[in-house]
Amino acid sequence: MGAFSGKTAVVTGASSGIGRAVALRLGEAGAHVFAAGRRTDALAGTVEAVTAAGGAATAVAAELRGPGAVQGLVDLAMTDTGRLDVMVNNAGVSFRGSLADGDPETWREMLEVNVLALTVGSQAAVRAMRACRAEGHIVNISSSASRLEAPGFYGATKTAVNAITASLRRELEGDPIRVVTVIPGPTATNLARHHPDLLRGVANSLGEELGPPSDGLFPTEALDRAAAAGPVLASADDVARAVLFAITQPIDLSISEISVQPARRPPVTA
């Protein structure tokens, strides 16, 4: 019997990276995982991995910027299983660009995914957990970018995540629902592939050249090399294990924040 046998979890952004790793850990622990994202092929890979690990998973193709999408996701989990025990608001996007020159449409997308979908997902989860009288956990994925002196627009959305999650934690003190902010540092996922300075620095430290990106993404091999370079990038599973730690504590204990950082700072080159 796993810690989450007979329980239901929803994970947004489960088609890759941290979300997929969390879905896998939850599935291994016995949860029925509702795994959401836009890329159906990648979601099928998540379901396959969870099933191979002995868990149960349902893929849910959803554009979280759409009206009602996150509520619909929670409603589906409730309709299919009658309960919701764990909600992991993980989906996120990070676009580069300065405040002086950045594209406001990228700001809108970061706000809608990183902040609004997470907040609506949290609200939907509270209502569902109360309805089924679950001892529940809400996990909101922030970023160490929120702690920078000059966090930029992406970091600002994660600062909002920290503030909203702390407020929800306070609001729910009287409920058997715990709320944790998970703050990853640089992690070897697709998201890190959007940060050429980081990857170039890691590649240079290995004495390698990082080729040009294709369609805005660096080749997977570059990412693999970066992750293999040692503790300058966390792995998605490092973050997933921290999530599992937080949500397997007694319900009368609040793990309010967990920061998951690689042991060394990445070398950054121009």
Contact stretch for ligand NAP (CB under 6 A) within 73-81, 127-135, 190-198, 211-219: 190-198
Both structure tokens of 59: 């893929």
**Does 39 interact with ligand NAP (rule: CB under 6 A)?**
yes
Say whether residue 224 binds ligand NAP (CB under 6 A).
no
Among 9, 10, 11, 18, the residue binding ligand NAP under the rule CB under 6 A is: 18
Asked if 15 interacts with ligand NAP (CB under 6 A), we say yes
In whole angstroms, the minimum distance from the beta carbon of 15 to ligand NAP comes to 4
Size of residue set near ligand NAP by CB under 6 A = 30
Using the rule CB under 6 A, which residue among 4, 7, 8, 16 binds ligand NAP?
16
* Annotated catalytic residue 154: yes
- How many Å apart are CA 160 and CA 259, to the nearest integer? 16
Establish if 136 lies at the interface with ligand NAP (CB under 6 A): no
The nearer residue to ligand NAP, 134 or 203, going by C-beta atoms, is: 203
Annotated catalytic residue: which of 154, 158, 178, 218? 154
Question: If binding is defined by CB under 6 A, does position 106 make contact with ligand NAP?
Answer: no
Footprint of ligand NAP on 231-270 (CB under 6 A): 236
Instruction: Select the residue interacting with ligand NAP from 91, 115, 160, 242 (CB under 6 A).
Output: 91
Q: Is 81 in the site for ligand NAP (CB under 6 A)?
A: no
Could you list the active site residues? 154
Contact residues toward ligand NAP (CB under 6 A) are 13, 15-19, 37-39, 42, 62-65, 90-94, 113, 141, 143, 184, 186-187, 189-192, 236
